[in-house]
Chains A and B, each alone.
Chain A
Amino acid sequence: MQMLLVRTTDPLLPGISALQLDPEQHTDGLPWLTAPLDHPARQNLVVTLRIHNQAGIPIIEAQSQIAAGAVTLIFRELTPLGIEAYAHATAERRLEVAQRVWSRRSFAILRCSPL
């Protein structure tokens, strides 16, 4: 299974060093990302994901909510930064942009806060 390295994670999410790409599930052409938690979440959390390219530029972001007791982190909808300027474009064009941007993924940073 393909992985995306997590360079920095949050103290509330210890032990996550990589996100797994789910080859079966995707939204708008970009895969879902998942990671098992070391132990069930102690509280409800909002987790923000930012995917960076090799130069450290954030290129994709996503948000996920974890309910207390959950054991898996899942990002279902990845959004390329700046894609809102393609609101007028066709779905095919947006897909092409999203996949081109995705091709530059290098590492991820996770931040979270209590919900």
Chain B
Amino acid sequence: MLGQLARVPGYYLARQTGRTPALPMNLTFSVSYRCNSRCKTCNVWRKRVNDFTIDEYEATFRKLGRTPYWLTFSGGEPFLRPDLIDIILLSYQHCRPGIINIPTNGLLVDRVVSGVERLAREAPKSSIVLNLSLDGIGADHDEIRGVPGNYAKLREAYDGLRRIKAPNLTVGIHTVVSQHNVDKVIPLMEHVRSEIGPDSFITEVAEERVELDTIGLEITPPLAKYAAVAEHLVADIDAGAAAGVAGIAQAFRRHYYQTTLRTLSEQRQVLPCYAGVSSGHIAPNGDVWTCCIRAEPIGNLRETNFDLRPIWAGTQADELRASIKRGECHCPLANAAYSSMLCDPPSLARVGVNFARGRVQRFIGAKGD
């Protein structure tokens, strides 16, 4: 982790000067658009491209070497690929990431549980973060996700994951706050805390993404309603300040929720975006994007013998980075936002203040007890 922090000034300088940055520390691989959910907030399952083979992934990881620290394997539903865990273990072999993050709908219960158990065992030096997508309680979840019985499957998957005894495994819940559930997110949070009790609970705003083909869908919640949710999320963090690494994560999350609200309210890039600098995204067919919001290909790995470097240093990447730096787009994409916060000195200062606030609250709470 310290080695990764040492790379942060390099990303900062690259963004400031417009010079080509080092390869990103945070990379997301969408391994397929196929999905067995039919969410009201996503059309990705309708799309189809020529997915990378496992050999193509291995060639990519080999060329990447140990540059990425945080790898996300997303979709579609990533576990629909029977070779998902083999792919991820190849990334472990060649890249040795500090964090491996996998979002899933949890529908393929046995495959998810057995796969994660194997991954946690065979990738012991990486932190495995498995996030189950939960958008409502019971029938509300099934309705939004378009799959009858989805909630029950998710609970089954969660129980199975909890039975895995692995020190490097974090099981979280991820909620997309949309038009369809914004009125029920606060009760959902209470439900998650009291009935499920995951290691982490994160939320993200439903937004219009080119990748998910959600441009033109009425999914983003009204600002006033989202503001109430964001205030509750921040208050929730303040009320249950954690220690150590969890406390640091909370400090980042608090800043993210506040920044998201401002981004939606002010309709501008509040947090300087480092997409295309410290983070990047690989589509299922090897297209390289700075982020999944814009999803503009800056090259394709199949055309560079699976080497990201020439694409990252290419003219198209430079142009897109310049556009992002000029603030020509804005969004609250969580994945990119967290690595942006790490590279943005004012944000880091704010996160530091948040962490200190948490420590003070813990101290006061302990005294009160």
Contacts and interface: CB of A to CB of B under 8 A. Distances in A.
Q: Considering the complex of A and B, which 10 residue pairs feature the smallest CB-CB distances, nearest first?
A: A100-B216, A85-B47, A56-B329, A101-B215, A56-B328, A103-B216, A104-B216, A82-B210, A88-B48, A59-B215
Contacts of A100: 215-217
Interface in A67-109: 80-82, 84-89, 93, 97, 100-104
Category for how many chain A residues contact B: 20 to 34
Contact of B46 (A59, A86, A104): A86
Given A55-B208, A59-B210, 11 more contacts: A52-B328, A53-B208, A54-B267, A55-B329, A55-B331, A56-B330, A59-B215, A80-B215, A85-B47, A97-B213, A104-B216
B293 interface: yes
Contacts of B328: 52, 56
A37 B35 CA distance: 47
Contacts of B330: 55-56
B33 A58 contact: no
Nearest to B324: A56
Contacts of B329: 52, 55-57
B296 A58 contact: yes
Category for how many chain B residues contact A: 20 to 34
A59 to B, nearest CB: 5
Contacts of A86: 46-48
B208 A82 contact: no
B48 A81 contact: no
Nearest to A87: B48
Contacts of B211: 82
Interface in B204-232: 208, 210-211, 213, 215-217
A88 B131 CA distance: 31
Contacts of B49: 84-85
Interface string B266-284: 0100000000000000000
A82 B293 contact: no
B295 interface: yes
Given A59-B215, A89-B46, A104 B208 contact: yes
A93 B329 CA distance: 28
Contacts of B213: 82, 85, 97
A83 B219 CA distance: 20
Interface in A10-31: none
Contacts of A103: 216
A96 to B, nearest CB: 10
Contact of B293 (A57, A87, A89, A104): A57
